[in-house]
Amino acid sequence: MTEAIEIEEQFNALRSLIHQGDISQFRDIFLDWHVYEQGQFYLSLSDEERQTVYSFLSPTELADMFDMIEEEEEDVQEYLAEMRPSYAAAMLASMYPDNAADILKQLDKPTLAQYLSIMASEKALDLKELLHYEDETAGSIMTTEYVAIVANQTIKSALNLLKKKAKNAEIIYYIYVVDELERLVGVISLRDLLVGEDDEMIETLMNERVISVKVADDQEDVAQVIRDYDLLAVPVIDYEDNLLGIITVDDIIDVIDDEATSDYSGLAGVNVDETTENPLKASSKRLPWLITLLFLGMSTATLINHYEVLISEASILAVFISLITGTAGNAGTQSLAVAVRRLAVSDDKDESFFKLVISELLTGLLTGLITGLVIFIVVGFWKHNFILGFVIGIAMLCAIIVANLAGSLIPMLMERLGFDPAVASGPFITTLSDLTSVLIYFNIAGLFMNFFVG
Amino acid sequence: MTEAIEIEEQFNALRSLIHQGDISQFRDIFLDWHVYEQGQFYLSLSDEERQTVYSFLSPTELADMFDMIEEEEEDVQEYLAEMRPSYAAAMLASMYPDNAADILKQLDKPTLAQYLSIMASEKALDLKELLHYEDETAGSIMTTEYVAIVANQTIKSALNLLKKKAKNAEIIYYIYVVDELERLVGVISLRDLLVGEDDEMIETLMNERVISVKVADDQEDVAQVIRDYDLLAVPVIDYEDNLLGIITVDDIIDVIDDEATSDYSGLAGVNVDETTENPLKASSKRLPWLITLLFLGMSTATLINHYEVLISEASILAVFISLITGTAGNAGTQSLAVAVRRLAVSDDKDESFFKLVISELLTGLLTGLITGLVIFIVVGFWKHNFILGFVIGIAMLCAIIVANLAGSLIPMLMERLGFDPAVASGPFITTLSDLTSVLIYFNIAGLFMNFFVG
What is the average per-residue pLDDT within B207-211? 90
Based on the fold, state whether residues B432 and B285 are members of the same structural domain: yes
Cα Rg, chain A, nearest whole Å: 30
Residue A139 lies in a domain: no
B:398-437 residues touching chain A, CB 8 A cutoff: 426-427, 430-431, 434
Residues A191 and A217 in one domain: yes
pLDDT > 90 fraction of chain A, expressed in percent and rounded:
41
Q: The domain spanning residue A361 has which CATH number?
A: 1.10.357.20
Indicate which CATH number applies to the domain containing B205. 3.10.580.10
Is B343 among the domain residues?
yes
How far is A248 from A146, CA to CA, in rounded Å?
10
Determine the residue type at A94: S
Maximum Cα–Cα distance across chain B: 100
Residues in chain B: 454
Domain end position, chosen among A214, A236, A268: A268
Q: What's the sign of the alpha-carbon dihedral B140, B145, B150, B155?
A: negative
Is the pLDDT score of B197 beyond 80?
yes
Give whole-number Cα distances, A453 to A38, A312, B162, B312, in Å: 75, 10, 87, 12
Per-residue model confidence as pLDDT tens digits over B416-427: 887 777 766 788
Q: Is A291 on the interface with B (CB under 8 A)?
A: yes
Shared domain check, A425 and A309: yes
CATH number for the domain that contains residue A13: 1.25.60.10
Distance CA B290, CA B431 (A): 11
pTM: 0.78
B253/A252 CB distance under 8 A: yes
Specify if A29 maps to a domain. Answer: yes
Which strand ranges, in their side-by-side order, compose the sheet holding A148-150?
A: A148-150, A174-178, A184-189
- How far, in Å, CA of A46 to CA of A11, rounded? 13
Whether residue A1 has pLDDT greater than 50: no
Cβ within 8 Å of A, B 84-113: none
Among partner residues B264, B291, B330, which is closest to A374 by beta-carbon distance? B291
Instruction: Determine, yes or no, domain membership for A15.
Output: yes
Q: Quick check: A230 and B233 in contact, CB under 8 A?
A: no
Same domain, B325 and B447: yes
Residue A396, pLDDT above cutoff 80: yes
Contact with chain A for residue B365, Cβ under 8 A = yes
Supply φ then ψ for residue B341, to 5 degrees: -65, -45
Same domain, B430 and B409: yes
Point out the least confidently predicted range of A252-256, B166-170, B396-400.
B166-170
Question: Does residue A184 share a domain with residue A310?
Answer: no
- Is residue B139 in some structural domain? no
| Mean pLDDT within A131-138 | 87
pLDDT tens readout for residues A234-249: 999 998 899 999 999 9
φ, ψ of residue A157 to 5 degrees: the values are -70, -35
What pLDDT, on the 0 to 100 scale, is given for residue B1? 38
Residue A435's pLDDT band, with cuts at 50, 70 and 90, is: very high
Beta carbon pairs, A and B, within 8 Å? 326
Give the Å distances, CA to CA, from B402 to B282, B426, B436. Answer: 34, 15, 8
For residue A404, tell me if it sits in a domain. Answer: yes
Residue A367 contacts B, CB cutoff 8 Å: yes
Residue A209: give the domain boundaries: 148-268
Give yes or no: residues B124 and B154 share one domain.
no
Contact of A72 with chain B, judged by CB distance below 8 Å, is answered with no
**Per-residue confidence band for B366, with pLDDT thresholds at 50, 70 and 90:** very high
Give the residue, A282 or B418, on which the prediction is more confident.
A282
Q: Are residues A97 and A9 in the same domain?
A: yes
Question: Closest by alpha carbon to B159, among A190, A42, A217?
Answer: A190
Chain-centroid distance, C-alpha B226: 16
Report the gap between the CA of B260 and the closest CA in chain A (Å): 6
Angle, in degrees to the nearest 10, between helices A85-94 and A97-106: 140
Domain count, chain B: 3
Residue A120: left (phi > 0), alpha (psi -120 to 50), or beta? beta
Residues B238 and B325 both lie in one domain: no
Cα separation, B149 vs B190, whole angstroms: 12
Q: Is residue B3 part of a domain?
A: yes
* Nearest partner of B424 among B291, B289, B281, B295, judged by Cα: B289
Share of chain B above pLDDT 90, in %: 41
pLDDT score for A2: 46
Region A20-24: what's the mean pLDDT? 91
**Which ipTM score applies to this complex?**
0.77
Residues A264 and A286 in one domain: no
Domain end among A268, A290, A307: A268
pLDDT band with cut points at 50, 70 and 90 for residue B349 = low
On the question of pLDDT at A406 being above 50, the answer is: yes
Last residue of a domain, one of B131, B157, B177: B131
Residues 308-337 of A with CB under 8 A from B: 308, 311-312, 315-323, 325-327, 329-331, 333-334, 336-337
Phi, psi of B37 (to 5 degrees): -70, -40
On whether both B118 and B201 belong to a single domain, the answer is no
Higher-scoring residue by pLDDT: A271, A154: A154
Q: Give the CA radius of gyration of chain B.
A: 30
Q: Evaluate if residue B259 carries a pLDDT over 80.
A: yes
User: Quick check: A268 and B326 CB within 8 A?
Assistant: no
Instruction: State the best of B248, B251, B367, B431 to mutate against chain A, taking most chain A CBs within 10 Å.
Output: B367
Same domain, B176 and B55: no
Helix H segments across A57-197? 59-69, 76-81, 85-94, 97-106, 109-118, 121-132, 138-141, 155-165, 190-195
Whole-number Å distance between alpha carbons of B57 and B68:
16
> Within 10 Å of residue B47's Cβ, how many Cβ atoms?
9
| pLDDT average, residue stretch B138-166 | 90
Residues on chain A touching B331 (C-beta within 8 angstroms): 286, 290
A75 vs chain B: nearest CA distance in angstroms? 18
- For residue B167, which residues of chain A lie inside 8 Å, CB to CB? 195
- pLDDT of res. B2: 47
pLDDT of B298 reads 92
Amino acid A275: pLDDT: 61
pLDDT for A451? 74
Give dist(CA A337, CA A331) in Å, integer: 10
Give domain status of residue B399, yes or no.
yes
Of A230, A322, A359, nearest to B438 by CB-CB distance is: A322
Q: Tell me, what's the pLDDT at B6?
A: 78
